[in-house]
Structure 1
Amino acid sequence: MGAISSLGIGSGLDLNGLLDQLEDAEREKLVPIERQVETENTKISAYGQLQSALSAFQDSADALNDSALYESLSSNVGGEAVTAAADAEAQPGSYNISVDTMATRGTLASTGVGAADTPIIDADADQTLTLTFADNSTKEITLAAGSTLEEVRDTINASGDSGVNATIVNDGTDFRLALSSSETGADASISNFSFTGVAPFDADRDVDDGTGTHQSGTDALLNVNGIEITSPNNQVEGAIQGVTLNLQEEGESTVKIEQDTLAVREAVTSFVDAYNDLKGTIGELTSFDSETGEAGDLLGDSAVRTVESRMRSVLSGAVEGEFSMLSDIGISLQTDGKLEIDADELDNAVSNNQDALSAFFVGDSDETGMAGQANTMVEQLLSTNGAVTGAKTGAENSIESLGERYTRMEQSIDQTISRYRTQFGQLDGIIAQMNQTSSYLTQQFDALDAQLGRN
């Protein structure tokens, strides 16, 4: 008997359909594993949200756990004459500032030449341009033979330490080289220039009165609390200890250097907001809707319970000092587990007792103050062996184990279906053979009946 190439041909039965049904039934065994993988992936995503919220809270605690925060100073400026910035060396104080003269750059123009792109330097040899400044210092610049006015300009500008910036100005008749001192101040002012060979043009040192082609640079002149100060530039450092004054215009301003209460207040507020965001994230992950039966991804999770327990322990605990608890600075724990700020109490602590506030949040070391304890607590939770990271790692390991189990199950199903296919093929052949035998016997009986009928 020849081999049957397709199931059911020999028997006439829908063996392929039956085999598909058996395979579907076998593959149902994979569904629980797929659901478990989906559950573990959901947990991993939820743990990631929890980690992000914890990290944000840790960042806010880090900001409060810096003693420099409570020592920082701010500058408040009245008037338009100056702006000011204070650094760590500044001291609280008030200053009346009068800007009499702004620092300016010196300028000097040349006499004119007919064209900017025609050679003006002797074609036979290079020349040296010597720039002279008000403090009698000089700078030499080599000009290539055959240079045009444009090339002279470019050569000057290509020399990074020439002390001037060069441009070309057309006065309506001729082209002039216009030089401007790179730095402000009297000493840095360009005052003259000369050539070693035949000069292609001269310095036009017309009246130095602010209206001519030659204008000397000036030093800034200002008065700080009655003390006259000169500066070669408009950024004045050192006139007031730890304060940089940026002169904006002639006129008067007041500068007050005082404790930066705004930075501290913002840091405390960020700490509270970050905790409340963390609490909100935990609430979403552990929620349960009794009407719909929908539950958060981490409802009843032991890692979340550990986080909440550790957070309550730190934030409701006490530290040594004038301020010992969050409630002492106007921060209270509400019935929903979130923090709330009493703005008046916090403002009073920030404005009048930053030393005690620093002792409360920072303490004597990085781990003794409230912020330090919070930071350490989060660091432990997020460490490799911490509750949150450990739970996430456990879910990842479960997925890996489930993947291996899924693969083994698939292989087993494939083997089972292969066995069924073989058995169905054998069944198909047997039935086909039986059908042939039945057909043969029927023919024989029919023939015998016919013979008996004739007799």
Structure 2
Amino acid sequence: MAGISFPGVGSGLQVSEIVTAIVNAEKVPYQNRVTQKQAEFTTDISAIGSLKSALQEVNTSLEALGDADNYQQRTASGRDDFIGISSTKDAAVGNYSIEVDALASSHKLMSGAIDSSTPVGEGTMTIEIDGDSFDVVASATTTLSELRDLINDDAANDSVVATIITDGTDQHLVLNSKETGVSSEIKITVDDIDGNDTDGTGLSQLAYDALAATPVLNMTEVDKALDAQITIDGNVTVTSSTNDFKDAIDGVTITAKKVHDIAGGDDLSKATISEDNSNIATGINAFIESFNALVDLSDQLGKSEDGAVGALAGDSMLRNVMSKIRSQFTTDFETGVSSSGKTTYSMLAELGVRTERSGHLSLDSDTLDDLIDNDPNKIQNFFVGTDTATGFVESTEELLEFYTQSDGLIDRRIEGNNTQISKLEKDVEAFNVKMDALEARLYAQYNSMDTLVAQLNNTGSYITQQLDNMPGVVKDS
């Protein structure tokens, strides 16, 4: 506080030092208590926040184990120059021989030579592929390049691409179907202004219908519209409008890339579909790693020995959440139905996950591998659950989210700590106002006392002087 900072004029007392000492006698202990409380709340927020993060990591690590698609997957091998192969988990395990007999191709037509500046002919051209058609109208002045643009720009055209090949002053119109397969064959009919729709003059020179009773072949077929064909295991012939064969073998997609020449010495392609359960061990190890990290953090936060006390030593929330998670490890979860029709149950340890003396988890790979080889459904049902029961993952996730979700136990505790910190800050403001008032009051009191002492000193000096001046008064020597 700004005020008198010099010794008392009348009393000689160190007023500032006295007032400061009295104020500090109240202020310092209070400040120490507040600082300690703020530190406790801040430390708790940090500690409980790190616990939340570790719990969320455990929750995240369970996601893969809770996804049924990650179990009993299939691996397809046998890719070579002739085929590509992929599979879903629905594919049957087995070995197959595959011969590529033909590749799919699109239909390609080319017109004869037409002068680039000469109108192609007036009339209407109808282009049809697999039952879908669109019309292009050519005027008396439409050139071949303009006809190309009319074809490509037509809003109804989603089946054919028109291009021009130029040879000197002559041009050739090329039509190519966008799709492959026999069904992509192009049919072109014309309504020629000259009344003859199939001759080789005017717009009719672009007519093409190989399937008509009387074929019209005024354009040249460059590439036939062909289906792809493969033979599986030497007996089953399968065709496809594309080079992809989906579910010719259940759950398997075969892509034809090159035709086999068996007579020329090509070997048949060999495809193998095998079961892949590597995701199971990967998922369990990820869970174990995240849980062990949680155990390490819990030990650190809850430590109360050797003179080093953790931030959450003796904390009921830390103790409860760890206890509840561990109880999941000894809970039976439904895993299937026995041959006698009874529901079967298993605990985590039966899958090879062990709890060590330290509280950490470890994996007995031999136990897990044996179960994967003999009963992968049991593992899937344990983690994912069945139609009638919740699995380990969902049950544990619900437990963890009770603590970690927005407005969960941890968030409410952090919010409570922040509320207490805000209250302390307001209390400090009020206390500082109180101390300012005390300081002002003390200065007023001591200054008043000092003034009174000065007045008394002046009065004493005056009386002494008057006595000294009285007749007959003898001063002490």
CA contact (8 A) 2:230 2:237 kept: yes
Pick one of 239, 243, 250 that aligns with 2:248. 239
Q: What do the CA deviations read for 1:349-387 (whole angstroms, capped 9, x no partner)?
A: 2122213333544565675654455345434555789xx
| Residue 254 of structure 1: aligned partner | 270
Equivalent runs, 1:34-49 vs 2, <5 Å: 34-49=35-50
CA contact (8 A) 1:43 1:392 kept: no
SS in 1 for 2:242: coil
Give the CA deviation at 1:163. 0.3
SS in 2 for 1:64: coil
CA–CA distance in 2 between the matches of 1:416 and 1:276?
52
AA at the equivalent of 2:412: T
| Residue 85 of structure 1: aligned partner | 86
CA–CA distance in 1 between the matches of 2:347 and 2:39?
44
CA contact (8 A) 1:108 1:203 kept: no
Pick one of 287, 295, 298 that aligns with 1:282. 298
CA–CA distance in 1 between the matches of 2:142 and 2:19?
93
Give the CA deviation at 1:231. 0.7
Equivalent runs, 1:257-276 vs 2, <5 Å: 257-276=273-292
CA–CA distance in 2 between the matches of 1:256 and 1:71?
15
| Residue 59 of structure 2: aligned partner | 58
CA contact (8 A) 1:131 1:139 kept: yes
| Residue 209 of structure 1: aligned partner | none
Q: Check 1:432–1:247 CA distance in 2 against 1; reply closer, same or farther (3 A cut).
A: farther
| Residue 426 of structure 2: aligned partner | 407
| Residue 264 of structure 2: aligned partner | none
Q: What do the CA deviations read for 1:15-49 (whole angstroms, capped 9, x no partner)?
A: 78887787777654244334423332332333233
SS in 1 for 2:369: helix
Structure 1 unmatched runs, 5+? 206-211, 451-455
AA at the equivalent of 1:75: A
Per mean C-alpha deviation after superposition, the further-off stretch among 54-63 and 331-340 is: 54-63
| Residue 212 of structure 2: aligned partner | none
SS in 2 for 1:130: strand
Q: What do the CA deviations read for 1:201-248 (whole angstroms, capped 9, x no partner)?
A: 96599xxxxxx8832332111112221111111222231223222333
CA contact (8 A) 2:74 2:275 kept: yes
Q: Check 1:445–1:266 CA distance in 2 against 1; reply closer, same or farther (3 A cut).
A: same
1:312 corresponds to 2:326: yes
Give the CA deviation at 1:417. 0.5
CA–CA distance in 1 between the matches of 2:458 and 2:153?
110
CA–CA distance in 2 between the matches of 1:26 and 1:200?
108
Q: Check 1:265–1:429 CA distance in 2 against 1; reply closer, same or farther (3 A cut).
A: same
| Residue 215 of structure 2: aligned partner | none
Per mean C-alpha deviation after superposition, the further-off stretch among 21-30 and 219-228 is: 21-30
Structure 2 unmatched runs, 5+? 195-201, 209-219, 261-267, 336-343, 470-477
| Residue 300 of structure 1: aligned partner | 314
AA at the equivalent of 1:374: T
| Residue 98 of structure 1: aligned partner | 99
| Residue 127 of structure 2: aligned partner | 131
SS in 2 for 1:408: helix
Q: Check 1:365–1:132 CA distance in 2 against 1; reply closer, same or farther (3 A cut).
A: closer
SS in 2 for 1:403: helix
| Residue 372 of structure 2: aligned partner | 350
1:331 corresponds to 2:332: no
Size of the alignment, in residue pairs?
A: 429
Give the CA deviation at 1:445. 11
CA–CA distance in 2 between the matches of 1:49 and 1:390?
14
Q: What do the CA deviations read for 1:64-96 (whole angstroms, capped 9, x no partner)?
A: 345555454443334343333334543333222
CA–CA distance in 1 between the matches of 2:53 and 2:22?
47
- TM-score with structure 1 setting the length: 0.72
Give the CA deviation at 1:190. 3.6
Per mean C-alpha deviation after superposition, the further-off stretch among 222-231 and 160-169 is: 160-169
CA–CA distance in 1 between the matches of 2:170 and 2:362?
74
Q: Check 1:335–1:77 CA distance in 2 against 1; reply closer, same or farther (3 A cut).
A: farther
Give the CA deviation at 1:183. 1.1
AA at the equivalent of 2:241: P
SS in 2 for 1:214: strand
- TM-score with structure 2 setting the length: 0.70
CA contact (8 A) 1:286 1:295 kept: yes
Q: Check 1:24–1:204 CA distance in 2 against 1; reply closer, same or farther (3 A cut).
A: farther
CA contact (8 A) 1:37 1:399 kept: no
SS in 1 for 2:78: strand
| Residue 224 of structure 1: aligned partner | 232
Q: Check 1:417–1:172 CA distance in 2 against 1; reply closer, same or farther (3 A cut).
A: farther
AA at the equivalent of 1:313: S
| Residue 208 of structure 1: aligned partner | none
CA–CA distance in 2 between the matches of 1:146 and 1:33?
95
CA–CA distance in 2 between the matches of 1:429 and 1:368?
81
> What is the RMSD computed on CA atoms of the aligned residues?
4.8
CA contact (8 A) 2:148 2:164 kept: no
Give the CA deviation at 1:347. 1.9
CA contact (8 A) 1:81 1:247 kept: yes
CA contact (8 A) 1:97 1:253 kept: yes
Q: Check 1:258–1:430 CA distance in 2 against 1; reply closer, same or farther (3 A cut).
A: same
Identity of aligned residues (%): 23
Per mean C-alpha deviation after superposition, the further-off stretch among 251-260 and 315-324 is: 315-324
CA–CA distance in 1 between the matches of 2:438 and 2:75?
83
CA–CA distance in 1 between the matches of 2:23 and 2:189?
97
CA–CA distance in 2 between the matches of 1:185 and 1:439?
125
